[in-house]
């Protein structure tokens, strides 16, 4: 039986509570109970970020770049090995390797940066007005409030663009980067599919096969995830069996707080491609 939204939220928080197994120098994380045959990449992103934060707690994460060489199994905890490549007074660079018994399921390069004062300038377009509650959607993997004016499940052709508002239940600001990295992994493939008439993200496994191969997130400013955030994204290209997308994350007042990009396998079934 699928978990209720509140149970999914508690389940995700438990996954972000990494532990150090006895006799180990790394960390271990539980997996979400989603009933899927493979791990959600957003979980691996969020847990890798948390592992870096635990290994270097005095500097916030500035960016992370993840590669996913193989799918993870949901029936086995993931072990995170952290290697410190460099740590100075301002910056630190870490490597995080996520392993299961069959091998590496993710490798993540993480950059951290101690807060500094300096000029502030922003050229990204400000966030629009928050849509009303009638635009609420259930995205299942995001166990919190979400709103959008675009239906990614529609098979009608449209521009390769998508805007999603989200707000988590009350939680500490220290979890905002991990929760946001988790969310950025969900809808970029669906965004890339929008220009293709007759196909939507609901056709995964039938009209197309997809798998995220790399994902990057940059954090620009401190923020909270339990206040409204806007994920504004677009996919400029789909070619050679791959799609690419990028996006920005805005606070409710229009402040740009993060950016992200993703490349994924997107292989169409012969009948759909023809």
249 closest CA partner among 162, 154, 172, 145:
162
Average pLDDT, the chain: 94
Whether residue 35 is predicted with pLDDT greater than 90 in this model: the reply is no
Greater model confidence, 171 or 270: 171
- Which has the higher per-residue pLDDT, 82 or 127? 82
Give the pLDDT confidence score for residue 196 in this predicted structure: 96
Which residues does residue 103 pair with via DSSP β-bridges, in sequence order?
100
Rounded distance, CA 174 to CA 8, Å?
A: 20
* pLDDT digit string, tens, across residues 205-241: 899 999 999 999 999 999 999 999 999 999 999 999 9
Average pLDDT for residues 193-201, to the nearest whole number? Answer: 95
pLDDT for residue 31: 97
- pLDDT value, residue 273: 54
Q: pLDDT tens digits, residue range 37-49?
A: 899 999 999 999 9
> Per-residue pLDDT tens for 247-260?
999 999 999 999 99
Question: What's the whole-model pTM score?
Answer: 0.95
pLDDT (0 to 100) of residue 128: 86
What pLDDT shows up at residue 271?
67
- Rounded distance between C-alpha atoms, residue 242 and residue 262, angstroms: 10
Whether residue 177 has pLDDT greater than 70: yes
Structure confidence at residue 272 as a pLDDT band (50, 70, 90): low
- Is it the case that residue 173 has pLDDT exceeding 60? yes
Q: Is the pLDDT at 183 greater than 90, yes or no?
A: yes
Q: How far is CA 36 from the centre of its chain?
A: 17
Residue 274 predicted with pLDDT over 90: no
Confidence band of 124 (pLDDT split at 50, 70, 90): confident
């Amino acid at each position: 039986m699928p978990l209720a939204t509140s149970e999914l939220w508690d389940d995700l928080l438990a996954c972000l509570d990494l532990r150090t197994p006895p006799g180990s120098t790394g960390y271990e994380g539980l997996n979400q109970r989603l009933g899927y045959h493979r791990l959600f990449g957003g979980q691996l992103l969020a847990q890798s970020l948390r592992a870096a934060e635990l290994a270097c707690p005095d500097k916030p994460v500035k960016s992370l770049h993840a590669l996913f060489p193989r799918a993870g199994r949901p029936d086995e905890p993931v072990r995170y090995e952290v290697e410190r490549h460099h740590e100075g007074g301002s910056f630190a660079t870490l490597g995080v390797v996520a392993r299961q018994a069959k091998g590496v399921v993710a490798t993540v390069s993480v950059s951290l940066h101690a807060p500094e004062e300096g000029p502030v300038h922003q050229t990204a377009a400000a966030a629009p007005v928050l849509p009303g509650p009638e635009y609420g959607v259930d995205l299942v993997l995001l166990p919190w409030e979400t709103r959008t004016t675009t239906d990614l499940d529609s098979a009608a052709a449209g521009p390769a663009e998508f805007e999603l508002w989200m707000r988590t239940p009350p939680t500490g600001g220290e979890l905002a980067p991990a929760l946001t990295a988790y969310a950025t992994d969900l809808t970029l493939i669906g965004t890339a599919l929008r220009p293709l008439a007759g196909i939507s993200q609901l056709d995964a496994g039938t009209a197309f096969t997809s798998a995220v191969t790399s994902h990057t997130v940059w954090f620009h400013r401190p923020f909270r995830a339990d206040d409204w955030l806007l994920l504004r994204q677009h996919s400029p290209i789909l070619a050679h069996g791959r799609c690419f997308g990028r996006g920005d994350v805005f606070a409710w007042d229009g402040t740009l707080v993060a950016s992200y990009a993703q490349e994924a396998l997107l292989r169409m079934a012969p009948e759909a491609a023809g």
